[in-house]
A and B are shown apart, each in its own frame.
Chain A
């Protein structure tokens, strides 16, 4: 996806668009990456979102660890830990395939940040959680199924 971002940044018109966005306060000046990818976030399928991000050609990798519950106690708050053991990892993107808008977020690491992130997400129904890692301009992926159940009255 960072390929896409870099491409966007290199394009003449988009530099102007970015400057406008910075000027409008939508982006902090310290943020060196492209704007929030509306097309990817509004895609209704994971594959369309991946295409919009330019990561649709990812290859399977065992070097990505996803720690998430097999059965989530509550789909409103599902904890996910992601670690990439692929050298040179610069970004991790998360897709919850069965959600209405599968693309959930991208996390970029620079200046010593370890390619690890913990986040908590809403999962509407049992779904694979797919993770795409960007490293050295290439994309790698893996997935883990999370089941969502009906709870009781308690808590």
Chain B
């Protein structure tokens, strides 16, 4: 059996080397047109909607989100997104952008978590409010450097926990996040798989999100992206805006720190 395995590896090696040396023409073609797509991105429609929602008095408490503290003080939106996830003393945990927005919708406006978590992802007929709001918030950090903090002990702990979640193999197919995103130059079908354990590639976990997804033509946030990865990992479902997802996002964002965030993007 060992012999057979070695035969398999040897047979595979020339092909793998070839793929490592020549840039993938398909990926290059996608990149070329991705730029054109980003120039006029339907995500902007959701950005406009999110700003309206941020300013509007809504919910049982008839309040706006203008007093929401995204980490830089109540009401400060500019630059907040690139400094998330971060530790918030009022909840004694690290929160990512959408988790914090949901927290503000609950505490300031009186919405119920159960209601927000019931259908948290966009469909062809409905874009949940937090998705539009996080698109607006993210757009206010366009062109800024990612700088998720690692100052508070809980921020460092959360990073390490997120890293452990990233590498944890379990489930029906023995997958972890790293099964797809732990090595260089891989792809699923034609979709390139960035290696998120490396800083220069980790930025691709953050860049372009929230993203307008061409498939279905809906706006999705990182909450959706993480959820759908766990689905394909054949895991049970992570709770919406849960600490697990904040931890995972802390791991990915800190790895990408220092890269310029280009704002809401467009995705396959």
Contact = CB atoms under 8 A, between A and B. Distances in A.
Let me know if chains A and B touch directly in the complex, using CB atoms closer than 8 Å.
yes
A151 B189 contact: yes
Contacts of A72: 33
Interface in B177-211: 187-193, 211
Contact of A151 (B33, B36, B190, B228): B190
Contacts of A79: 33, 36-37
Contacts of B215: 74, 76, 151, 155
Interface in B24-58: 26, 29-30, 32-34, 36-37, 40
Interface of B: 26, 29-30, 32-34, 36-37, 40, 187-193, 211, 213-217, 220, 225, 228-229, 232, 267-268
A153 interface: yes
A153 B37 contact: no
Contact of B189 (A71, A118, A150): A150
Interface in A70-120: 70-74, 76-77, 79, 81, 118, 120
Contacts of B26: 71, 149
Contact of A152 (B32, B188, B213): B188
Contacts of A69: 29-30, 32-33
A65 to B, nearest CB: 14
Contact of B268 (A70, A71, A73, A81): A73
A71 B229 CA distance: 25
B211 A152 contact: no
Given A152-B187, A152-B191, A152-B193, 15 more contacts: A69-B30, A69-B32, A69-B33, A72-B33, A73-B30, A73-B33, A73-B214, A73-B268, A79-B37, A150-B190, A151-B215, A154-B267, A154-B268, A155-B211, A155-B215
9 contacts: A70-B29, A74-B214, A150-B189, A151-B189, A151-B190, A151-B215, A152-B189, A155-B225, A155-B268
Of the listed residues B191, B193, B267, the one surrounded by the most CB atoms of chain A closer than 10 A to its CB is: B191
A72 to B, nearest CB: 8
Contacts of B29: 69-71, 73
Interface string A117-155: 010100000000000000000000000000001111111
Contacts of A152: 187-191, 193
Contacts of B225: 155
